Structure 1
Amino acid sequence: MTGKARVLVTGTGAITPVGADAPSTWSALLAGKSGVRLLQEDWAPGLPVHVAAGLQVDPASLLPRTEARRLDRGEQLAILGAREAWRDAGAPDVEPERLAVVIGTGTGGVLTTLGQDDLFERSGMRRLSPFAVPMLMANGPAAWVSMDLGAKGGARTTVSACASGAEALSLGMDLIRAGRVDVVVAGGVEACLHPFTLAAFAQMKALSTASEDPESVSRPFDVRRSGFVMGEGAAMFVLEREGFARARRARAHGVLAGGAVGSSAGHITASDADGQAAAITLALRDADIAPRDIGVVHAHATSTESGDLAEAEAIGWAVGTHAAVTATKSMTGHMMGASGAVGALAAVLALRDGSVPPTRNLDEQDPRVELDVVRGESRTGRWDAALANSFGFGGHNVSLVFTRDRGGVQ
Structure 2
Amino acid sequence: MNESIGITGIGSISSLGDNRDIIWENYESAKHFLSVQKIANEVNITGKINTNRGIEKLRNEDEKYGRLDLSVLYALYASREACRKAKWSSQDNFGVNIGSSRGATELFEKYYSEFLNEGKSSTLSSPTTTLGNISSWVGHDLKTMGPQISHSITCSTGLHSLLNGVAWIKSGMTNKFMVGGSEAPLTPFTLAQMRALKIYAKENKEYPCRALDLQKTVNTMVLGEGACSICLERNPQEVNTLAYIRGVGYATEVLTHNISISSDAKCFQHSMKMALKNINEEEIDVIVMHAPGTIKGDLSEYKAIQKIFGEKRPFLTSNKWKIGHTFGASGLLSVEMAILMIQYQKTIDVPYIQKQRTPNSIKNVLINAVGFGGNAVSIVLSNNEFYGRS
TM-score calculated relative to the size of structure 2: 0.91
Aligned counterpart for 1:252 among listed residues 225, 241, 244: 241
Cα 1:32/1:140, change in 2 over 3 Å: farther
Please name the residue that 1:91 is paired with.
88
Cα deviations by residue, 1:49-88 (Å, 9 ceiling, x for unpaired): 6211111134641314224312111000000000011111
Counterpart pick for 2:309 among 295, 303, 319: 319
Q: CA 1:64/1:309 → structure 2, altered by over 3 Å: closer, same or farther?
A: closer
> How far apart in 2 are the matches of 1:315 and 1:348?
21
Q: Deviations over 1:262-282 (max 9, x none)?
A: 111223212231111111110
Cα deviation, 1:346-401, whole Å, max 9, x if unaligned, reads 112211221121224x25x5xxxxxx758xxxx67412211000011021101111
Match of 2:250 among 251, 261, 264: 261
- Distance in 2 (CA, whole Å) between partners of 1:356 and 1:67 is 42
Q: How many percent identity over aligned positions?
A: 25
The one-character-per-residue Cα deviations of 1:140-179 (angstroms, maximum 9, x if unpaired) are 2111111222333311123110000011011111111111
Aligned partner of 2:18 in structure 1 is 20
Task: Say whether 1:291 aligns with 2:281.
Answer: yes
Q: Alignment partner of 2:350: what SS?
A: coil
**What is the aligned partner in structure 2 of residue 368 from structure 1?**
none
* SS in structure 2 at match of 1:13: strand
Does 1:275 find its partner at 2:272?
no
Following the alignment from structure 1 to structure 2, what is the Cα–Cα distance between the partners of residues 32 and 67? 40
CA deviation digits over 1:245-288, x for unaligned, max 9?
A: 32xx7511111122122111223212231111111110111xx2
CA contact under 8 A between 2:315 and 2:359: conserved in structure 1? no
Aligned to 1:388: 367
Q: Equivalents in 2 of 1:328, 1:64: separation in Å?
A: 28
- Tell me the distance in 1 between the aligned counterparts of 2:9 and 2:128: 26
Contact 1:6 1:177 in 2 (8 A): no
How far apart, CA to CA, are the structure 2 residues paired with 1:196 and 1:163? Answer: 21
Counterpart for residue 306 of structure 1:
296
Q: Within 1, Cα distance between the matches of 2:19 and 2:71?
A: 15
2:252 is matched by which residue type in structure 1? S
1:335 partner letter:
T
Range moving further from structure 2, 74-83 or 87-96: 87-96
Q: Secondary structure at the match of 2:381?
A: strand
SS of 2:266's equivalent in the other structure is helix
> Taking structure 1 as reference, are residues 343 and 147 closer, same or farther at Cα in structure 2, changes over 3 Å only?
same
Deviations 1:196-255 (A, max 9, x none): 1111111111111112x3x5101112223532001110111111111xx32xx7511111
Give the letter for the 1:179 counterpart: G
Separation (CA, whole Å) in 2 of partners of 1:29 and 1:70: 33
Asked if the contact 1:252/1:405 (under 8 Å) is kept, the reply is no
Partner of 1:218: 209
Offset at residue 334 of structure 1 (A):
0.4
- Which amino acid letter does the alignment assign opposite residue 324 of structure 1? F
1:31 aligns with 2:32: no
For 2:185 and 2:261, locate their aligned partners in 1 and report how far apart those are by CA, in whole Å. 22
Q: Residues of 2 paired with 1:168 and 1:5: CA distance?
A: 20
Between the two proteins, the alignment pairs up a number of residues equal to 380
Matches within 5 A, 1:4-403: 5-41=3-39, 43=40, 45=41, 47=42, 50-58=44-52, 60-65=55-60, 66-92=63-89, 94-96=91-93, 99-125=94-120, 128=122, 130-211=123-204, 213=205, 216-222=207-213, 223-224=215-216, 226-242=219-235, 245-246=236-237, 251-267=240-256, 268-272=258-262, 273-285=265-277, 288-320=278-310, 321-360=312-351, 362-363=352-353, 381-403=360-382
Give the whole-Å Cα distance in 1 for the aligned partners of 2:359 and 2:77: 30
Structure 2 residue runs of 5 or longer lacking an equivalent are: none
Q: TM-score, normalised by structure 1?
A: 0.86
Alpha-carbon RMSD: 2.3
Contact kept? 1:359, 1:373, Cα under 8 Å: no
Q: Distance in 2 between matches of 1:326 and 1:409?
A: 23
Contact 1:263 1:397 in 2 (8 A): yes
